[in-house]
Amino acid sequence: MYTAVELPFDKRDFSVIFSNESREKTYKITIKLVATLNLSSLSEYLLGRKIAVPQDQLQALDVALRQSLVWKYTPVGRSFFTRSLGSVTLDGGLIAWNGFFQSLRPTLQGLVLNVDLVTTAFYEPIEVVDFLGKKIRSFDPRYKLTDAQRNMVKKSPL
């Protein structure tokens, strides 16, 4: 966790309770100061006065840039996806969404925001019976799935 200002404590423990219909689970969370980042090392590097790239400072800036995207887009790994950038319906109950990957890169001219376009497959938001119908050609909801049909669903690309 990164903060713009120093927290008013060095260490604090919290208990967080998550519950659903069947059970309740308590998690203990500890927040403690591990390090303080001084961005002057990054400035020195960008001005050509330092040879080593301050990776910890680049990582902190990357995390800060990604944070607002987490609320707007669907994150998968280090990439973000949305239907608004385009989608294509695939066979077998899948849909491909376009998205992007971003990272800060140091260059001789300063920091550059590198953005690459990416695509990944998601399951379509459909009923299970409809999904099985798309996955298995001979699917009939009136009968149990055969072992071969179950294996076909298990070997799904996602």
pLDDT single digits (tens) 111-126: 899 999 999 999 888 7
Note whether 58 and 42 are within 8 A (CB): yes
Q: What is the pTM of this model?
A: 0.68
Q: Cα separation of 53 and 141, whole Å?
A: 59
Note whether 31 and 21 are within 8 A (CB): no
Q: Cα separation of 15 and 104, whole Å?
A: 35
pLDDT single digits (tens) 36-70: 888 888 888 888 888 888 889 999 999 999 998 99
∠ Cα 116 3 117 (to 5°):
5
Domain residue extents for the chain:
38-125
